Amino acid sequence: MKVTADRTRCMAAGHCAVTAPDVFDQADDGLVTVTDPTPPDPARADVLLAERLCPSRAVTVHDA
């Protein structure tokens, strides 16, 4: 599983950082940063939920 986040789409809703805090965070500008781009399998459900919750479609999970 590979995770990317598009900072040009991010609106700083923060759902990803709340849902999968080991994978996403908010940088000092409030926008998303991916802290673990290849999270382990047990994180899959949370990462997929983060993708679903993102209102601006900034989070993408590849090879899900």
Partner 1 sequence: MTVDTALLPSYPQDRKCPYQPSPGYQELGGEGPLHRVRLFDGKWLWLVTGHSQGRRLLADPRMSADRSRADFPVVLPRFEAPIFKPLALIGFDPPTHSVHRRLLAPDFSLKHVRALRADVTALAHRLIDRITAKGAPADLLNDYALPIPSMVVSELLGVPYDDHEFFEARTVDLLQAKSPEGAEAAGQALWDYLDRLITAKERDAADDGVISRLASRVDGVDLTRDDLLRIALALLIGGHDTTSQMIAMGVVTLLEHPDQLDLLLADADLVPAAVDELLRVVSVTDVSGVRVALEDIEIDGYTVRKGEGVLVSSSMTNRDPEVYPDPYRVDVRRTAGSASRQHMTFGFGIHQCLGQNLARMELEVAFTVLFERLPTLRLAVPRADLAFRKGGTMQGVHTLPVAW
Task: Name the residue nearer to partner 1 (CB basis): 1 or 13.
Answer: 13
Examine residue 28 and tell whether it contacts partner 1 (CB under 8 A): yes
Q: CA 27, CA 53: separation in Å to the nearest integer?
A: 19
In the complex, what is the shortest distance from the CB of residue 56 to partner 1, in angstroms, rounded to a whole number?
5
Examine residue 55 and tell whether it contacts partner 1 (CB under 8 A): yes
Beta pairing partners, 62: 2
The owner of tokens 């805090």 is 21
The half-sphere exposure of 29 on its side-chain side, counting CA atoms within 13 A, is 7
Binding site for partner 1 (CB under 8 A): 11-15, 17-19, 26, 28-31, 49, 52-53, 55-57
